[in-house]
């Protein structure tokens, strides 16, 4: 059975490769030179500094402690906390703080050319490449295809692209890697980032409750002091301290004064009645002062009444022996008139005293009643001020308690939040990351070999020329009479 494809022997393949040797050499040599130029002179090495951070926030649920010892500390995979810490480490605010602290957005002085031929060639090639990239960037900006970035924005973009943070598998550790084209300096940037991260995360998780309640405590304290001062001023001005006690004392005083007023009225009425009776008796030709009423024994009035009664008895005796115009009778009448005048003056004086005492007690009663009414009128405002002071005291106590709780909670949270450890600090690397240059060069040569073979296959497929006697015999079907050999030119 004949095959549709032509069969080629090893000799034919060797002949084709020998025939296309220059093409293959050009491809391989061009690839070799271009790979060497790119890998050793154009391509920037990438160095990576890494750090490992352990997250151990809080305690998991565990059985309570027993009499034999404390309860075990259960540590589990804290995926949520690790992912949250990764997001905090990659935040733009944190990167901005690092840029500002290290002044990464400020242009540094250009490095001098290094000594040696190859390092100088590499230095100037890199400089030319960066110049070309800058020119290309300016062209794109001028065409409106790209926006101009500030130095800070460029550094921010470089850090965001170079920073790679990933959680370690089945652990509470995440690994932060920072890629940079410089072998030295990357560890300083990543260390600064980690130091800022330890402070920044405290601010992120910080509870502002203590500051809030501290402000409320200060405000309530000022309001309470003002209300107490107002209440004290009102009590001093209105003479109010213990309203219930003062009202009780006033009510007792009013009750006593009312009793005294009643007694004074009775005494005044009795004195008025005696004065009226005395005036009525004085109008009589033979007054009988016994009808005035009784007086306390051994009193001045009773003594005068006794003397008057004795004079009257004596006068009645004198009438039995003498005329009314007699000297002794007249003397008796004069004495009687003098004593009655004294009794009238005394009774009138006693009446004036009783009226003055009644008026005094009435004024005192009116003053107490007025004071009581005034205190009743001011009791509403006084009670309102006291309620306000009590409410403010309650607010102050509540805010003080909340402030203490918030302070304790904040201290505990700081202890827990500070429970993050950097277990592997970044240091400057020695070798760049990725495949070695020799490995990349070998890969490029393999690729170039495949490209060369592909080129040979394509070129041979489209090549219709005849190069050997066998091909002449195959394509013409006639025998070959002679073959002129090919001699290499000297």
Report the pLDDT averaged over residues 120-134.
Answer: 82
| 47-55 sheet: strands from edge to edge | 163-167, 173-180, 47-55, 420-424
Q: Count of CB atoms within 10 A of residue 406's CB?
A: 19
pLDDT band at 60 (very low <50, low <70, confident <90, very high): very low
Interatomic CA distance for residues 54 and 407, integer angstroms: 27
Check pLDDT > 60 for residue 68.
no
pLDDT band at 346 (very low <50, low <70, confident <90, very high): confident
Which token pair is 470? 């066998």
Which token pair is 285? 């030709």
Interatomic CA distance for residues 433 and 177, integer angstroms: 11
Nearest Cα neighbor of 15 from 480, 485, 488, 466 is 466
Check pLDDT > 80 for residue 245.
no
Residue 313: CA atoms inside 13 Å, Cβ hemisphere, count? 7
pLDDT tens-digit map of 6-47: 566 777 778 778 878 888 899 989 998 888 888 877 777 788
Domain 45-65+72-206+421-448 in this protein, CATH class = alpha beta
pLDDT tens-digit map of 376-391: 777 677 778 778 888 8
pLDDT of 26 reads 92
β pairing state of 163-167 and 47-55: unpaired
User: Quick check: 51 and 425 in contact, CB under 8 A?
Assistant: yes
pLDDT over 90, % of the chain: 2
- Between these two residues, 264 and 488, which has the higher pLDDT value? 264
pLDDT of 412 reads 57
Average model confidence (pLDDT) across the chain = 78
For the chain, what is the total number of helices (H) and then of strands (E)? 13, 4
pLDDT of 217 reads 84
Name which of 256-265, 325-334, 436-445 the model is least confident about: 325-334
User: Quick check: 409 and 240 in contact, CB under 8 A?
Assistant: no
Which residue reads 């109008």 in tokens?
A: 283
DSSP H or E stretch at residue 174: strand 173-180
Chain-centroid distance, C-alpha 113: 54
pLDDT of 62 reads 41
Which token pair is 418? 């500070």
pLDDT over 70, % of the chain: 81
Check pLDDT > 60 for residue 236.
yes
Interatomic CA distance for residues 313 and 306, integer angstroms: 11
Distance linking the first and last C-alpha atoms of the chain? 48
User: Quick check: 165 and 90 in contact, CB under 8 A?
Assistant: yes
pLDDT of 351 reads 83
Interatomic CA distance for residues 3 and 20, integer angstroms: 27
pLDDT tens-digit map of 278-289: 777 777 777 776
pLDDT of 447 reads 92
User: Quick check: 448 and 27 in contact, CB under 8 A?
Assistant: yes
SS3 assignment, position 246? helix
Check pLDDT > 50 for residue 85.
yes
The Cα-based distances of 368 to 240, 244, 245, 294, 380 in angstroms read: 15, 15, 14, 35, 19
pLDDT of 77 reads 61
Check pLDDT > 60 for residue 254.
yes
Check pLDDT > 90 for residue 446.
yes
The Cα-based distances of 310 to 292, 306, 323, 343 in angstroms read: 16, 6, 19, 15
Nearest Cα neighbor of 199 from 79, 102, 56, 93 is 93
Give me the residue spans of the domains in the chain.
10-44+449-490, 45-65+72-206+421-448, 232-416
User: Quick check: 269 and 354 in contact, CB under 8 A?
Assistant: no
Output phi, psi for 431, to 5 deg.
-115, 150
User: Quick check: 243 and 377 in contact, CB under 8 A?
Assistant: no
Task: Give the burial class of 274: count Cβ atoms within 10 A of its Cβ; 0-12 exposed, 13-18 middle, 19 or more buried.
Answer: buried
pLDDT of 106 reads 83
pLDDT tens-digit map of 170-228: 888 889 998 888 888 888 988 988 888 888 887 776 666 667 778 888 888 888 888 88
The Cα-based distances of 213 to 53, 208, 397 in angstroms read: 34, 9, 11
Name which of 64-68, 151-155, 197-201 the model is least confident about: 64-68
């Amino acid at each position: 059975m004949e095959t549709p494809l032509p069969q080629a022997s090893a000799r034919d393949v060797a002949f084709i490769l020998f025939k296309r040797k220059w093409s293959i050499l050009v491809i391989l040599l061009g690839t070799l030179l271009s790979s060497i130029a790119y890998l050793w002179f154009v391509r920037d090495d990438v160095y990576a500094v890494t750090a490992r951070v352990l997250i151990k926030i809080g305690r998991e649920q565990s059985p309570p402690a027993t009499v034999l010892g404390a309860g075990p500390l259960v540590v589990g995979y804290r995926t949520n906390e690790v992912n949250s810490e990764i997001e905090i480490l990659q935040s733009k605010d944190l990167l901005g703080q690092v840029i500002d602290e290290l002044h990464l957005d400020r242009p540094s002085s250009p490095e001098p050319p290094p000594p040696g031929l190859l390092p100088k060639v590499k230095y100037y090639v890199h400089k030319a490449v960066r110049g070309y990239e800058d020119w290309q960037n300016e062209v794109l900006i001028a065409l409106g295809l790209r926006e101009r970035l500030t130095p800070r924005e460029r550094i921010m973009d470089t850090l965001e692209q170079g920073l790679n943070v990933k959680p370690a598998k089945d652990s509470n550790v995440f690994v932060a890697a920072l890629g940079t084209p410089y072998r030295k300096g990357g560890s300083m940037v990543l260390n600064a980032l980690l130091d800022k991260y330890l402070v920044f995360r405290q601010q992120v998780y910080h509870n502002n409750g203590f500051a809030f309640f501290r402000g409320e405590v200060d405000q309530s304290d000022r309001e309470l002091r003002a209300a107490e001062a107002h209440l004290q001023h009102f009590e001093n001005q209105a003479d109010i301290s213990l309203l219930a006690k003062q009202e009780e004392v006033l009510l007792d005083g009013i009750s006593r004064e009312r009793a005294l007023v009643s007694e004074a009225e009775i005494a005044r009425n009795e004195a008025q009645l005696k004065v009226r009776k005395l005036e009525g008796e004085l109008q009589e030709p033979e007054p009988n002062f016994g009808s005035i009423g009784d007086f306390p024994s051994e009193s001045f009035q009773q003594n005068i009444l006794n003397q008057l009664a004795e004079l009257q008895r004596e006068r009645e005796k004198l009438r039995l022996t003498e005329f009314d115009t007699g000297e002794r009778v007249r003397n008796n009448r004069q004495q009687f008139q003098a004593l009655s005048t004294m009794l009238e003056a005394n009774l009138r004086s006693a009446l004036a005293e009783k009226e003055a005492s009644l008026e005094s007690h009435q004024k005192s009663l009116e003053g107490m009643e007025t004071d009581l009414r005034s205190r009743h009128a001011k009791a509403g405002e006084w009670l309102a001020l006291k309620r306000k002071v009590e409410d403010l005291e309650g607010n102050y106590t509540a805010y003080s308690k909340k402030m203490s709780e918030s302070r304790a909670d904040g201290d505990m949270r700081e202890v827990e939040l500070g429970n993050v450890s950097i277990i592997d600090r970044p240091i400057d690397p020695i070798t760049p990351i990725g495949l070695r240059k020799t490995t990349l060069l070998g890969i490029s040569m393999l690729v170039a070999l495949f490209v060369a073979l592909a080129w040979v296959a394509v070129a041979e497929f489209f090549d219709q020329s005849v190069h050997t006697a066998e091909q002449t015999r195959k394509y013409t079907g006639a025998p070959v009479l002679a073959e002129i050999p090919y001699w290499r030119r000297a």
